[in-house]
Amino acid sequence: MCSQDGTSLDLFVRGTDLHLYWLHSADGKTWDPDPSKAVDLGGICTSNPAATSPAPGYIDVFVRGTTGELWEKNTSNAGDANPIWTWKLIGGLLLDNTGPAAYSFGGVNGQVGWFVTGTTHALWQQWSINGATSRWSNLGGYLTSAPAATAPTDGSVIGVVVGGTNGNVWYRQGTANGWGSWTPTQGQLLSSTSPAAYNWGTGSIGWFVTGTNSQLYQQTYAGSTSSWTNLDGILTSSPGATSKGDHIIDVFARGSGGETAALWTRDFNNVVSGDWSDWTFVGQVGP
Report the SS3 class of residue 39. strand
pLDDT bucket at 262, cuts 50 / 70 / 90: confident
pLDDT bucket at 246, cuts 50 / 70 / 90: confident
Q: Does residue 235 have a pLDDT over 70?
A: yes
Average pLDDT over residues 89-110: 96
Name residue 248's beta-bridge partners: 244, 269
Average pLDDT over residues 65-70: 98
Q: In Å, how far are 11, 250, 265 from 26, measured between CA atoms? A: 11, 14, 16
pLDDT digits (tens, 9 = 90+) for 167-215: 999 999 999 889 999 999 999 999 999 999 999 876 689 999 999 999 9
Q: Does residue 35 have a pLDDT over 80?
A: no
d(CA 115, CA 92): 10
Supply the Cα-derived Rg of the chain in whole angstroms. Answer: 17
Percent of the chain with pLDDT over 70: 94
- Considering 65-74, 149-158, 176-185, 272-281, the range whose residues carry the highest mean pLDDT is 65-74
197: left (phi over 0), alpha (psi -120 to 50) or beta: beta
Q: Does residue 271 have a pLDDT over 90?
A: no
Helix %, strand %, coil % for the chain, to 5? 0, 50, 45
According to the model, what pLDDT value does residue 3 have?
Answer: 95
Average pLDDT over residues 239-245: 91
Q: What is the CA angle 199-70-165, rounded to 5?
A: 65
Q: Which domains does the chain have, with CATH numbers?
A: 9-284 (2.120.10.70)
d(CA 12, CA 157): 25
pLDDT digits (tens, 9 = 90+) for 111-122: 999 999 999 999
d(CA 64, CA 62): 7
pLDDT bucket at 70, cuts 50 / 70 / 90: very high
Let me know: does 113 contact 128? Beta carbons within 8 Å. yes
257: CB partners within 8 A, 6+ apart? none
What residue type is assigned to position 162 of the chain?
V
| Per-chain mean pLDDT for the chain | 92
In this structure, what DSSP letter does residue 201 have? T
231: left (phi over 0), alpha (psi -120 to 50) or beta: alpha
